[in-house]
Amino acid sequence: MTYKVFIDGRHGTTGLKIDERLAGRDEIEVLTIPEDQRKDPAVKARFINDADIVFLCLPDAASKESVALLAAGNTRTRFIDASTAHRTNPDWVYGLPELNGGQRERIRSAQKVANPGCHATGFILLMAPLVAAGIVPADYPVSTFSITGYSGGGKEMIADYEARGEQDILRSPRLYALGLTHKHLAEMQALTGLAHKPLFNPIVGNFAQGMVVSVPLIARLLARKVSPADLHALYSEHYAGQTFVKTMPLDATPVLDAGFLPATTCNDTNRAEVFVFGHDEQLLPACRFDNLGKGASGAAIQCMNIMLGLDEARGLAA
C-alpha cells in the first residue's frame, strides 16, 4: 500500500530533514506543490485533503491556518505538527511514544499529533518518570540546562554560523532566551506534571547539530532519599524495551570522551541516551540526542510510522 504524504513547509530545516528521511521509501508518495502555487490557499487545501499524513513544518500561526484548511468530515487526513502551536492543546496527542505505557496507542489512533520540541524532548524523558514515581515533588524548583547545535535555530541562525562561525563572538557557547520565557516551557511543565515551569537555560554552541539536556537535582529536596543507582534503575525499567530511548550504563566511563559528554554522538540517528551522574547528595540526569533527529524530524517520522501501522523504526537509525 502507498501512503500520500504532504510536507507543508518543506523548505524549512525540519521539512528538509523529513523529506530526506522519506527519500527512497517505496510505500510513501510525497506530494509536492508546484513552486509558483506554494502560497495559494486553495491549492494547499487540495494537497492537505488529498494526503494521508500532513507534516506541518511552519511557524505557529501558519500551522493553525493549515489545519483550518481540512475539509469538514475529512477523518482520513492526519496531521503531525512540528510547530509549538498545539503541544499543550488537549485536542492533540503529544508525539512522544516513550512518555508512558499508553502514549504509543494514543498516537496510533490520533488524527492530530503535536511533535515535541527538541529541548522539551530531553527534559520530559528525564523528568516525567521521576515526577510520576513520586521522587521529584510536583512543586520542586527545577532548573535545566540544554546545549544545542546551531541548526536548532533554523535557517537564519544556520546561515549566520556558516557565514561567520570563526569569529570570536560565535566560537564560544552562547546563552540565549535570557528572558526565561522560552517557547518550550509550556510543554516541559505540562507533560511532566510539574506545578511550576522550570528555570530553563538553553545554550547554543558552534557545531551544527547535537544536544545534551541535563537536570541537576539536590537529593535533600526530593520526596525521598535516592542514589544515582536508584535513578538509574528507575530509568532502566521505564525505558526497557524501547527502540530509541536507551539508559546508558551507570558507570558511563567507557562511553564518555575522557570524562566529557559530547553533544554530537547521536547525530543522524533517532536515538536518545539517558545518563545518571552524581553522588548521594547531588544527582545529574542527562539526555543526549540529535536535535534534528529525536528532537525533530526523526520523532516526526517515528510518529508517522506508528500512525500508519508500519514498523516504528522504519527509515530510522537507532
Per-residue pLDDT tens listing for the chain (318 residues): 899 999 999 999 999 999 999 998 999 999 999 988 888 999 999 999 999 999 999 999 999 999 999 999 999 999 999 999 999 999 999 999 999 999 999 999 999 999 999 999 999 999 999 999 999 999 999 999 999 999 999 889 999 999 887 888 888 999 999 999 999 999 999 999 999 999 999 999 999 999 999 999 999 999 999 999 999 999 999 999 999 999 999 999 999 999 999 999 999 999 999 999 999 999 999 999 999 999 999 999 999 999 999 999 999 999
Q: What residue spans define the domains of the chain?
A: 3-116+296-307, 118-291
**pLDDT number for residue 137:** 98
Residue 105 is predicted with a pLDDT of 98
- What is the DSSP-derived secondary structure letter of residue 294? I
Nearest to 291 by CA among 195, 174, 147: 147
Of the candidates 118, 266, 287, 303, the residue annotated as catalytic is 118
CA pair distance 97, 6, nearest whole angstrom: 22
Instruction: Supply the pLDDT for residue 35.
Output: 86
The one-letter amino acid code at 244 reads F
Cα separation of 267 and 209, whole Å?
7
Closest by alpha carbon to 295, among 158, 144, 122?
122
Rounded distance between C-alpha atoms, residue 298 and residue 22, angstroms? 10
Q: What is the CATH code for 3-116+296-307?
A: 3.40.50.720
Predicted model pTM = 0.96
Question: How confident is the model over 107-152, as pLDDT tens digits?
Answer: 999 999 999 999 999 999 999 999 999 999 999 999 999 999 999 9
CB neighbours (10 Å) of residue 59? 15
Smallest CA-to-CA distance from 144 within 125, 129, 158 is with 125
Question: In one letter, which amino acid is 145?
Answer: F
Distances (CA, A) of 143 to 127, 146, 190, 235, 307: 11, 10, 15, 19, 34
Instruction: Say if CB 115 and CB 316 are below 8 A apart.
Output: no
Is it true that 3-116+296-307 and 118-291 share their CATH fold? no
CATH architecture of 118-291: 2-Layer Sandwich (3.30)
Contact 126, 188 (CB under 8 A): no
Torsion angle, CA of 199/58/19/315, rounded to 10 degrees?
40
From the CB of residue 174, how many other CB atoms can be counted at a distance below 10 Å? 13
Instruction: Give catalytic status of residue 118 as yes or no.
Output: yes
Residue 210 has which C-alpha cell?
547535537
Cell (9 digits) for 122:
530531553
What does the pLDDT look like over 233-246, one tens digit per residue? Answer: 999 999 999 999 99
